[in-house]
Amino acid sequence: MEHGLEVAKESFANVASHLPFANLAKKGSDAFRIEIDLPGVDKKDIELKVEDNILTVKATRKMKNEVKKEDYYLCESNFGLISRSFVLPEGIDKDTVDAKFEDGRLYITLEKEESRKAKSISVK
């Protein structure tokens, strides 16, 4: 039984180590921002989808390190699917989700629906 727990713990650690790191931040009172580290990923290999208030980011990492020398050859490659999902707060405008990929980091901006944004009221 103890061996089974150790194997499960090791498996979970392995899965967790392949999740991309993400930073979540509130941007003012009307928007949220998610930053996800995706080193070694090309922009064309990133997929974003919003369904039932869940934002899912999927990416395929394809890395190959090849060294050719006169007396040896080394080739290491890493390939895999990366996925993270985020439950969106109520009132996010799914039509205005914006994503930008720059220097191995994905920046996602989520705006509140217009009717839920804070409004300033002038006193007359």
Structure tokens at 5: 């727990």
Write down the mean pLDDT value for the chain: 81
Max avg pLDDT among 5-9, 23-27, 101-105: 101-105
What does pTM read for this prediction?
A: 0.68
Q: pLDDT digit string (tens) for 41-50?
A: 899 999 999 9
CATH 3.40.720.10 for domain 1-113, yes or no, is no
The pLDDT score that the predictor gives to residue 13 is 47
Domain boundaries, given as residue ranges, for the chain: 1-113
Are 98 and 33 in contact by the 8 Å Cβ rule? The answer is: no
Pairing of strands 31-37, 22-27: antiparallel
Q: pLDDT digit string (tens) for 23-61?
A: 877 777 788 899 999 888 899 999 999 998 899 999 988
Are 22 and 84 in contact by the 8 Å Cβ rule? The answer is: yes
